[in-house]
Amino acid sequence: MNLSFIDNRLYKIKEKIVKEKRLDFKDGLILFNSNDLIGVGRLADHVRRKRYGKEAYYVYNQHLNYTNVCTNRCLFCAYAKDKGENGAFTLSINDIRERLLERIDEPVRELHIVGGLNPSLSFDYYIDLIKTVKMIRPDSTVKAFTAVEIDHLYKISGYSLDETIARLKDAGLAMIPGGGAEVMSERVRNRLFPRKIDSNRWLEVMEALHRAGLTSNATMLYGHIETMEERVQHLIRLRSLQDKTGGFSAYIPLAFHSENTKMSQIPATTAFDDLKSIAAARLILDNFDHIKAYWVMIGEKLAQVALSFGADDLDGTIIEEKITHMAGAKSATGLTRTCMEHIIASAGFKPVQRDSFYCPV
């Protein structure tokens, strides 16, 4: 690899990457603190191209948010409402059926289903929800409920965590989205999401899901009050669990959007930070296959550039995104397949439509 850097500290990291040696906490800090964005990006691109060449993935998916009523009320969330508050909603199983039938002519392969922690919903509702999706779209993958929701389901089901997961799996749950860990730091949790499960529990639930044979993703919410040390620590903890279970499929950095939240004074993340967060993750998370550039949060144009900064996946068509748009996202709420393929191809990559498990379709 013949690369030159403005930041001399990157030479040491390059040596490790060439020798396929694992990066440590200090290396991670150098990457996040470096102003040599192009240097960090070239290193990440080297690793990405070695694995995937010119291929870049996306999935034909549909988002479904079943309720925005949530007892956690994280400070960074513009989506959640209290029960009875103006704008609060909960979809009935029939509403869900209708939402799915509205798009039945489209080749949707993955249903991404998440919602708030709504105490009015019973465990049976969640089972019926999954079964309804599988009935209407038997060939699709149900990717649903973050580890935070799974923990809530365990609490309301009356079963053990393993039994709760087994019952969800029997109903048709196949994959778990990566949300809910936010930044694994008690300092940040105490200030921004004190009611949410802590990082140890998030990892414990993920481990139980992996043990049950379900794959999951992992995310990090960045660009608020977290430090660079906390970012690196978060990635290293994900990497350690992945060493143990191998159950994570993709990592997705989530750029904080502050509009309509209790933290609206915090400015939007910059393109510089968005790209560096993707590139650093590609280099630190050496045991994660896929790094997603989530176009909803960083915009379609920057997501396209991210394909040359370590990302190999643009997530999906989505159809109708709510959580980030409530917090002021300016991206589209969905992309057509033509548009997705144009974004990828015009960045010099080969679009590969995939299923939830990265098999080309």
Tell me which residues touch ligand SF4 (CB under 6 A).
Answer: 70, 72-74, 77, 79-80, 116, 148, 196
Nearer to ligand SF4 by Cβ, of 28 and 177: the residue is 177
Nearer to ligand SF4 by Cβ, of 59 and 77: the residue is 77
CA-wise closest residue to 180 among 114, 261, 228: 114
CB of 144 to ligand V47, least distance (A): 10
CB of 16 to ligand V47, least distance (A): 29
Burial class (CB in 10 A: 0-12, 13-18, 19+), 85: exposed
Q: Which does 70 bind (CB under 5 to 8 A by kind): ligand V47, ligand SF4, none?
A: ligand SF4
Q: Which residues sit at the interface with ligand V47, rule CB under 6 A? A: 76-78, 146, 177-180, 182, 217, 219, 221, 252, 254, 256-257, 261, 294, 315, 323-324, 327
What type of residue sits at position 18? Answer: V
Between the alpha carbon of residue 278 and those of residues 205, 233, 294, 347, the distances in Å are 25, 15, 10, 17
Measured at CB, which residue is nearest to ligand V47? 179
Q: Which does 80 bind (CB under 5 to 8 A by kind): ligand V47, ligand SF4, none?
A: ligand SF4
Strands 313-316 and 350-354: unpaired
* Residue-by-residue DSSP string for 30-82: HHHH-S-HHHHHHHHHHHHHHHHTTEEEEE-EEEEE-B-B-SS--TT-SS-B-
Let me know: does 251 contact 285? Beta carbons within 8 Å: yes
CB of 67 to ligand SF4, least distance (A): 9
Q: Which does 199 bind (CB under 5 to 8 A by kind): ligand V47, ligand SF4, none?
A: none
Nearer to ligand V47 by Cβ, of 25 and 357: the residue is 357
Nearer to ligand SF4 by Cβ, of 42 and 152: the residue is 152
What type of residue sits at position 194? Answer: P
Between the alpha carbon of residue 60 and those of residues 49, 208, 214, 356, the distances in Å are 23, 28, 20, 9
CB of 347 to ligand SF4, least distance (A): 31
CB of 265 to ligand V47, least distance (A): 13
CA-wise closest residue to 72 among 111, 114, 127, 128: 114
Q: Which does 73 bind (CB under 5 to 8 A by kind): ligand V47, ligand SF4, none?
A: ligand SF4
Q: Which does 178 bind (CB under 5 to 8 A by kind): ligand V47, ligand SF4, none?
A: ligand V47
Q: Which does 196 bind (CB under 5 to 8 A by kind): ligand SF4, ligand V47, none?
A: ligand SF4
CA-wise closest residue to 205 among 131, 140, 159, 149: 149
